Chain A
Amino acid sequence: GENVEQHPSTLSVQEGDSAVIKCTYSDSASNYFPWYKQELGKRPQLIIDIRSNVGEKKDQRIAVTLNKTAKHFSLHITETQPEDSAVYFCAPRGYNFNKFYFGSGTKLNVKP
C-alpha cells in the first residue's frame, strides 16, 4: 500500500502567521490529494483538494501545492486564526482508485 508521511507532527504559530504542512507519499500512480481538518472530538472534514493535473489550488486563506515528481504536496494556511487550531490530515489516493491512505496528522496550535 501507499506509504504516507506528514511533517511536522505538531506546529505552533502566532495568530496572523502562516503555517505549512507537508505530506510525502510513495505511490507514483496517486492522482488525488486531499487535506482534512479534524477539530477536537469531531469528524474529519475535507478542506481542500488537488488533482494530479494541477500544481496549485487556492481557497481564500488556504492553498495546496503539488509536486508529483518529488511525490509530495503541502497545505498552506495564511493569516492563521485561533479557529484554525485542529489536527490536519493528508490522504492521497493510491493505486486502488477508491482507497485513501491517511497521514498520521499534524496538530496545529494557533496562539492568540
Chain B
Amino acid sequence: DAEITQSPRHKITETGRQVTLACHQTWNHNNMFWYRQDLGHGLRLIHYSYGVQDTNKGEVSDGYSVSRSNTEDLPLTLESAASSQTSVYFCASSELAGSDTQYFGPGTRLTVL
C-alpha cells in the first residue's frame, strides 16, 4: 500500500549540530510539506514543495532548509539545532495543485539539548 513515512521517529541531539529528518512518500504526490507541532500552536508550516527542484518557505522557516531532488523525498535539515527547535515534526503530502487532502506521516519527535 502507498504510504508516507518519516525517520527517525525519535531523535535527541545537541545544540549546534546539524540534523536531517527524512520524509518519504510512495503516492507519487507532487506536493509535500513540513510542519512543526508545539503545544498551543497547532501545526505551523516550515517549508513546502510543489515538485522536483521546487521549494518554498513557510511561516516558520528560519533555521530550516529542504531540498527536493525526486518526487518521493523531502528531507528537512536543521542547519544548527537550537533548543527552540525541540518539537514534533510532521511531513505531509497531497496530489497536484487543486487536490485538497493532505496525508500526514507518523511524526518525528526531536529533542535538542
CB within 8 Å of A: which B90-113 residues? 90, 94, 97-98, 100-102, 104-107
Interface of A is mostly: loop
Structural contact, A104 and B50, CB atoms closer than 8 A: no
Of chain A, the residue at the smallest CB distance from B104 is A43
Of chain B, the residue at the smallest CB distance from A49 is B100
| Given contact pairs A98-B94, A100-B102, A89 touches B107 in the complex (Cβ within 8 A) | no
**A-side interface size class:** 20 to 34
Determine the chain B residues whose CB is within 8 A of the CB of A45 once the complex forms: 104
Determine the chain A residues whose CB is within 8 A of the CB of B90 once the complex forms: 43-44
Bound form: Cα–Cα A105–B38 in Å:
11
Q: Confirm or deny: A99 has a beta carbon within 8 angstroms of a beta carbon on chain B.
A: yes
Q: Confirm or deny: A29 has a beta carbon within 8 angstroms of a beta carbon on chain B.
A: no
Determine the chain A residues whose CB is within 8 A of the CB of B94 once the complex forms: 98
Structural contact, B100 and A32, CB atoms closer than 8 A: yes
Pick the most buried of B43, B50, B97: most chain A CB atoms within 10 A of its CB: B43
Structural contact, A44 and B101, CB atoms closer than 8 A: no
A: which residues have CB within 8 A of B? 1, 6, 32, 34, 42-46, 49, 89, 91, 93, 97-105
Q: Report 12 cross-chain contacts, Cβ distance below 8 Å, ordered by A residue.
A: A6-B42, A43-B104, A43-B105, A44-B43, A44-B90, A89-B43, A91-B102, A93-B100, A99-B48, A100-B45, A102-B35, A104-B41
